Structure 1
Amino acid sequence: MKKFYTLIATAVMIAFCGCAGTTPEAEAGVKIEKEVATYKIAPYVSVDEAKAKLAAAGFEVVGSYKPFENGTTLLFTNNAMKAMANKPSRGLAAVGRILVDDERKQISIANPVYFGKAFMQKEYSHATASAELAALEKAFGPCKNSGDKWEFDGLAGYHFMVGMPYYEDMDLVGEGSTADLVAKAQKAKGTTAVVKIGEDRYVAFVELDRRTNGFLKKIGTQNGEILPWAVLIEGGQAKALSAKYIIAISYPAFTMTEFMGIATVPGAVATDIKKIFK
């Protein structure tokens, strides 16, 4: 089933998107594997130790969130990440995520090469993303690749299947002045962080309703750093990645049958976030 889905997805991406982006060699003279791991798995440390390692590696920890009982997401950034992502529709790439997984006794690092290519697309900087990854691997290593992975050249044009959204098909969840939208995010119950990326560009990390959050246990808490939900605020608009996109790219081994099991979640996510920005 997985092989069949992979073949279909690859054919669709070629037909609709072509060969998206340039190769890593052309971007930075650095060769990477054809398939990129979605996460890097590192030896377990406590939340406080993880925060210390991030700080020592030159990252600023901007937020902490518990996506499930035995896990903690840490959000982090630095000036290079912000500079790379300070472009229209690219701000989501400015903040990285790691999961301190007390249940599995491991650290799961959202791979900045994987998500950087997906979110930055033609504006992706492999030099910046690979430097970020190297710093994380040095701080938390030795690291191994997760079983989740996707072809590097397919990430910029990723979508789950025909009729499903691409990165750019974001949900518009609020409109108004950027200042007002930021204020609403800051006042919302459960907001983890609001990070300034540029003069008129912010990323807010907001909490979904408890009932909506239940999808995580259905699809697997091992990739729990998908929460909290990120909202890009720029140009007087608040925009969030479609749940159909971000869940699929965060769980690339996901099948259509599994998606059907959480069919109501994407709509619930959009409804939850729109409440924040009314």
Structure 2
Amino acid sequence: MRKLILWCALLCSAQVCLALAPYVQGEKLPGADLPTQLAQLEKKLQAEGFTVIGRHTPTGLPGHASLVVTDPAMLEAIRTIGGSAVIASGIRVGVKTDGAVSYMNPDYWYRAYLRGQFKTAQPAAKSVQLRLAKALGEGSGFGGDVPEADLPQYRYMLGMERFDSANSELSTHASFDDALKAVQANLSSGVGATSRVYEVVNRQSQTAVFGVAMNDPGDGEGWWVNKVGADHMAGLPYELFIVGSKVYAPYARYRIALAWPALGMGQFMGIISAPETIRTTLTRVAGGTVPGN
């Protein structure tokens, strides 16, 4: 009986160890305004070999921001994999004016975004994880727990979207160059009250990814993030990506759930209009056709 109890305890412990959280708490910075906080983070990350590509201060979320960086080895792994792997190019760090720092857990997000190709990038992903911890500190994980084996085919519940669901496709253009020009032009002109946070383009593989700020006071990210939890700033900004002549964005019932996996159904019902609102906004950015327009 004792052996059985011990075996069960070890099994439960192993299962817990295989669950991953989407975010890691970093070491707190001295309180200051957001530009000062972001500048401090940039220096720490650049010292560990990361390249800063964007800052995000979401409309409607005062005192919150995120910083996006890239890593050369990780970008090379993503190029090797190709296709939709480009969405994983940005490494996101969150900060608040009280000095709280958090960052995306690479093991969690790369398993979800790279799916069956995660092993190809695993050495680079491990390096990213170690250097983020060195630059920013490594506290406890937070934001929920998802078994690592579930992340490649993650969905919040039966019937909801996965990464590659059909409604992630937003538009089709004549060529990669046409798709790229359309997205760049629409973000530059602020279509749908959006703006560009970052972009990574690889013409050789005909792939690109953009971090998109959705700034509309009523329909932008501020209203729904306030309802589901602004502590998850390292989950922003939302991504839009191009593969060949097609433009995609992960559907929000997948993307929001992946970034906030501990949400209760009641919280999801409180933002029930967000998935289609986000899709409409990003379809306009992608140069696609919005039903009814």
CA deviation after TM superposition for structure 1 residue 186, in Å: 2.4
2:12 matched residue in structure 1: none
Write the letter of the residue equivalent to 1:255. G
Write the letter of the residue equivalent to 1:76. V
Number of aligned pairs? 246
Of 235, 240, 245, 2:244 maps to 235
The whole-number CA distance in structure 2 between the counterparts of 1:163 and 1:209 is 30
2:6 matched residue in structure 1: none
Of 136, 149, 156, 1:153 maps to 149
CA deviation after TM superposition for structure 1 residue 181, in Å: 2.2
2:196 matched residue in structure 1: 191
TM-score, normalising length: structure 1: 0.84
- Given that residues 35 and 152 in structure 1 are in contact (C-alpha distance below 8 angstroms), is that contact kept between their aligned partners in structure 2? yes
The whole-number CA distance in structure 1 between the counterparts of 2:56 and 2:266 is 29
Question: Relative to structure 1, is the Cα distance of residues 184 and 225 closer, same or farther in structure 2, using a 3 angstrom cutoff?
Answer: farther
1:7 matched residue in structure 2: none
CA-atom RMSD, angstroms? Answer: 1.7
Of 253, 256, 263, 1:254 maps to 263
The whole-number CA distance in structure 1 between the counterparts of 2:90 and 2:202 is 9
- Given that residues 95 and 233 in structure 2 are in contact (C-alpha distance below 8 angstroms), is that contact kept between their aligned partners in structure 1? no
Instruction: After TM superposition, list the pairs within 5 Å mapping 1:121-270 onto structure 2.
Output: 121-124=115-118, 125-169=121-165, 171-176=168-173, 177-187=175-185, 188=187, 189=190, 190-197=195-202, 199=204, 200-210=206-216, 211-212=218-219, 213=221, 214-270=223-279
Note if 1:98 corresponds to 2:93: yes
1:57 matched residue in structure 2: 48
Write the letter of the residue equivalent to 1:203. V
Of 71, 76, 79, 2:72 maps to 79
Question: Greater share of helix residues, 1 or 2?
Answer: 2
The whole-number CA distance in structure 1 between the counterparts of 2:202 and 2:176 is 13
Partner SS, residue 84 of structure 2 = coil
| Percentage of matched positions with identical amino acids | 24
Question: Relative to structure 1, is the Cα distance of residues 65 and 147 closer, same or farther in structure 2, using a 3 angstrom cutoff?
Answer: closer
2:22 matched residue in structure 1: 38
1:32-85: CA deviations, max 9, x gaps? 931112101012231101011111111111111112211111111122111222
The whole-number CA distance in structure 1 between the counterparts of 2:69 and 2:171 is 25
Question: Relative to structure 1, is the Cα distance of residues 180 and 129 closer, same or farther in structure 2, using a 3 angstrom cutoff?
Answer: same
- Given that residues 197 and 203 in structure 1 are in contact (C-alpha distance below 8 angstroms), is that contact kept between their aligned partners in structure 2? no
Partner SS, residue 102 of structure 2 = strand
- Given that residues 82 and 197 in structure 1 are in contact (C-alpha distance below 8 angstroms), is that contact kept between their aligned partners in structure 2? no
Greater Cα offset, 191-200 or 51-60 = 191-200
Write the letter of the residue equivalent to 1:93. A
Structure possessing the higher radius of gyration over alpha carbons: 2
- Given that residues 24 and 138 in structure 2 are in contact (C-alpha distance below 8 angstroms), is that contact kept between their aligned partners in structure 1? no
The whole-number CA distance in structure 2 between the counterparts of 1:128 and 1:186 is 29
The whole-number CA distance in structure 1 between the counterparts of 2:234 and 2:281 is 19
Partner SS, residue 192 of structure 1 = strand
The whole-number CA distance in structure 1 between the counterparts of 2:271 and 2:143 is 22
Write the letter of the residue equivalent to 1:206. V
The whole-number CA distance in structure 2 between the counterparts of 1:150 and 1:54 is 27
1:105-135: CA deviations, max 9, x gaps? 3111011100000111110032221111000
CA deviation after TM superposition for structure 1 residue 148, in Å: 2.1
The whole-number CA distance in structure 2 between the counterparts of 1:113 and 1:140 is 16
TM-score, normalising length: structure 2: 0.80
Please list every run of 5 or more consecutive structure 1 residues that lacks an aligned counterpart in the other structure: 1-31
